[in-house]
Structures are given as structure tokens and as C-alpha cells.
Structure 1
Amino acid sequence: MTRARQADRAAVEAANTAFYEAMEQGDFDGITELWLDDGATEISCVHPGWPVLTGRGEVLRSYALIMANTDYIQFFLTDVEISLADDVAVVTCTENILSGGPAEDGASLGPLVGQLVVATNVFRRTSEGWRIWSHHGSPVIPETDTGDDEETTD
């Protein structure tokens, strides 16, 4: 791998990490800065269970809404893979999420909930660095034991 390609890979990984760190910190300005804003390209986002959001206004509004209703969120990323093609990068990963909503009855934090989401983050190189073009998160449905593992005899 060439040095330029290694540098691109490192820059994309840093941008991806910055995205999740901004979410954890509730940094709306940081999130806003990380999304592509070239005036010509539509951005898109799919949060788990949501319809496709298209356009800068809709996408950023969704993050404002999530941040306003989430008191605590932490991402542990696993299975991170980066693919590069010229000025576009695709990052796939598993988001191991721990989050808590608004507290009840005077508690400092609401109940914590764990969730697994597989995500694809598409980045595009700009003069300001790598910016998110599209984010798609899908929930991982836990496997259930259906009891079909038992051997049957005829």
C-alpha cells in the first residue's frame, strides 16, 4: 500500500471516529461540520427503523432530535472495514451502542439500553477533508433459539 493510500485510510478512519465521538459528546456543530456540504450533492441518512432522510436539512434535523432525546450514548465500534476508491471511501462497522434516555423520578440517568447496529458510512474527499455523504444503520436482530437443533428420527 502506498503512503498516500495509507494516509487516506488513516484520514477516513479519523473522520469516522470523529463522527461517533461527536455523537457521544452531543456536539451538533461537530456533526454538522462532518457532513458533506458542497451545495450540489444530496446527503442521505437511514437511522435504524427510520425512513430514508435526504438533504442536509432533514439529516441534520434528525441528529438534533436524537441528541435532544438522548442523555447518554456511547459507541464501541467493531468489525471496522475501510474501502477506498479515488475520492470516495466506504466504512462498514458494527456499532455496539449503550444509551440512556431521560431520567425519571429524580434519577441522574434513565435506564441504559444496549443495541447492535451494522452501519455503512460513505465519505467523499473534499478540500476540507473527508466528509460523510451517506450513513445507513440497520439493527441487528438477535438470534433466538427455536429448538430446531434437535435431531429427529423417522
Structure 2
Amino acid sequence: MSAPHTDVEQVEAANTAFYEALERGDFEGVSALWLTPSDLGVDEEYHDPADAGVVSCVHPGWPVLTGRGEVLRSYALIMANTDYIQFFLTDVHVSVTGDTALVTCSENILSGGPAPAAGEELGPLVGQVVVATNVFRRTPDGWKLWSHHASPVLAENDDPDDEETGDDEPAS
């Protein structure tokens, strides 16, 4: 087994590679970073690799997606319908225990489109903050995603429990 700090660095690199592949719209790169059934010892001769529920994903506002085929299909749809996306990851924390790693982070996302050509101004973009949990498993080919779960963060003024009084006086 490798040294713990090396594992953390490798997981950080795999996590970064995932977001960079999304930014490039590199479907093959994204696919290569997700576990396959054989990575977990599922015999593909007896199980359809597209349906084996070995991976899961929750995009903000979406239901749980289970199975490699369903998860990868979701990324293909996102990439096909997003002209430009850029992730600024903050608050990244990595925890490794044995062959499993947990990454939590804030995804500060700019999206819109299309990306500007050299010398052109950037068109209108939409920004949002999402918190994410990425679970990785160690494989012979390196660390691969097992699960991704992302949820939007409400802005302070978007809190539905925060009632305004209509004046500058504190509520009593």
C-alpha cells in the first residue's frame, strides 16, 4: 500500500482530472474516470455492464442515477447542452481509508456559452455554487469515481425560513 500522503495526492489529481474533462467536454475522459463493473469484481459475462448498479450520481435537482450507463448518459446530455462550463473548486477536503476515498468540495460554477475566441469578450454567464461529495475507489488503473453527489447552496437571501419584516427594525 502506498503512503497516505501519496494516496491523497493521487485522489486530488483524479478529482481535478474529472472536473477538467467536464470543462473540455471530453466524454471519453469523463468515462475513463468512472468505475467499471470489472473494477469492482462484477463479472460482465453475467451482468450487463450498463445496468450493473455499481456507480451512482446525483446532479443538482435530478433524481438519483444508478448504473454506469445511466450516469454516463447524464454527462453526455450535460456536455451536449452546455456551451461553456468552468469549475473553481474551493474547500477541497480529501480523506482516504484503504481503497476508498472521499472528496468534499464547493463547486463554484460558471456556465453559459459559447466560450470566447481569443480577444473576444465573454458572453453572459450564470454562476452558481454547488457542494459536492465524490467517492473514489482504488483500482489497478488508479483512482476512479464510484459516486458523485452535488447539491446547490442557497444564497443567504434565498433562505425560505428568513422572513423579512419590511422595515429596518429587528423582528420581535
TM-score by length of 2: 0.79
Closer, same or farther in 2 for the Cα pair 1:152/1:6, shift >3 Å? closer
Matched, 1:151 2:150: no
1:152 is displaced (CA, Å) by: 5.3
Q: Which residue of 1 aligns with 2:62?
A: 50
Aligned residue identity for 1:59: V
SS at match of 2:17: helix
Closer, same or farther in 2 for the Cα pair 1:146/1:21, shift >3 Å? same
Q: Give RMSD over aligned pairs.
A: 2.2
TM-score by length of 1: 0.87
SS at match of 2:3: helix
- Aligned mates of 1:70, 1:78 — CA distance in 2: 22
Percent of matched pairs sharing the same residue? 70
- Aligned mates of 1:152, 1:126 — CA distance in 2: 56
Which of residues 108, 112, 116 is equivalent to 2:129?
Answer: 116
- Aligned mates of 2:20, 2:131 — CA distance in 1: 17
- Aligned mates of 1:50, 1:90 — CA distance in 2: 21
Aligned residues of 1:123 and 1:132 also touching (Cα < 8 A): yes
Q: Which residue of 1 aligns with 2:143?
A: 130
- The residue correspondences of 1:1-154 to structure 2 (distance < 5 A) are 4-39=3-38, 40=42, 42-101=54-113, 111-144=124-157, 146-147=163-164, 150-151=169-170
- Aligned mates of 1:64, 1:152 — CA distance in 2: 48
Structure 1, gaps ≥5 residues long: none
- Aligned mates of 1:68, 1:102 — CA distance in 2: 12
SS at match of 1:64: helix
Aligned residue identity for 2:127: G
Task: Report the count of equivalent residues.
Answer: 147
1:91 is displaced (CA, Å) by: 0.1
1:17 is displaced (CA, Å) by: 0.2
Aligned residue identity for 2:31: T
Structure 2, gaps ≥5 residues long: 43-52, 116-120
SS at match of 1:15: helix
Aligned residue identity for 1:19: F
